[in-house]
Chains A and B, each alone.
Chain A
Amino acid sequence: MWRKVKWGLRIAVLLMVAAFLHYTLPQRDIVLVTGTYNRLTTVGANWLFYATPDVGTAESTTTRDIRFIEAVRPNDKVSVYRNEDTGWIWPPYFKYDSSNLQAEAGNLKSTKAAPQWVAVTHYGWRLPFLSIYPNAVKVKAVAGPDVTLIPWVSIIVLLALAFGLFMLRRMWLQLRERMLDPALDDVNNALDAADARADAARAQARGVWRRLIDWLGTWRSTPRR
């Protein structure tokens, strides 16, 4: 039972970390840009998936003018990206050139008849139910829909995270070996010594006390039948 609960918790934490990384790390789609526009958008309960109000492009917490980029993927399905500054804290893209990006995306617009394929770097998810959009970070013209793009940034970030976790574990083990275990040994030895003394004292006290009780017992009258 407890084993199952423990494993369930572990898997839940792992899934949350994976989802968080999948949301935050950059991905690249190869698309045709078909439209760029601004739309007044009301941000409500889904505020977590929009820019924080203190960055350049987000003037208000509720209703703001957001730039969007519409695109078509090679399989004819559509993608819609928002184009907002990220600010300086999270996610750490430090993007403050949304206006330029919008102009570049407009410049790369094309049709299926004369396609100009574009790699759109973005993070985030498109969930129509919550009205949330991935945030486009960069657009770049590419030769065709089949070019191979190696996700260097994700590789480097994941390796760095793994290295950080590995070092944290090494540091914890070193701390335990050099500081905590010797200190605990000292405490345990002291406790053992104190225990032994207490036992001896208790044994001695019991001896005195028992003798006193026995002596008092001699004064007690024997119970009558």
Chain B
Amino acid sequence: MIGLVYLVVFGLLGLSLVYLLVSVYSRSVRREKLEKRFDAGDGEGDRDAYIEAGMKAYQHGLRRRLIWLVYIIPIVVVGVTIYLVNY
């Protein structure tokens, strides 16, 4: 049973690392996209303000919440594996 504890603790640590990496990557991609969109003449006014507004929208958007799938998918996969193998 100690194995289950190890699995939960180290599994969650590993998934948290993945979550961190993916969220940093996703922010970076979004910022780059906003910069390019502004430079293409899409926005008006101040460049920094335009980008900050876009990042704020991202912060409350669906795409950022989808990163929670990093936790959800592996946990579901483990659950399904346990069910299929043992029952």
Contact = CB atoms under 8 A, between A and B. Distances in A.
Interface size range on B against A? 10 to 19
Contacts, number: 43
A68 B82 CA distance: 22
A94 B85 contact: yes
Contacts of A96: 86
B31 to A, nearest CB: 8
Interface of A: 54-55, 87-89, 92-97, 100, 137-138, 167, 170-171, 174-175, 178
A95 B3 contact: no
Contacts of A175: 25, 28
B81 interface: yes
Contacts of A92: 78, 81
A40 B85 CA distance: 25
A94 B6 contact: no
B85 A97 contact: yes
A152 to B, nearest CB: 11
A37 B49 CA distance: 73
A88 B86 contact: no
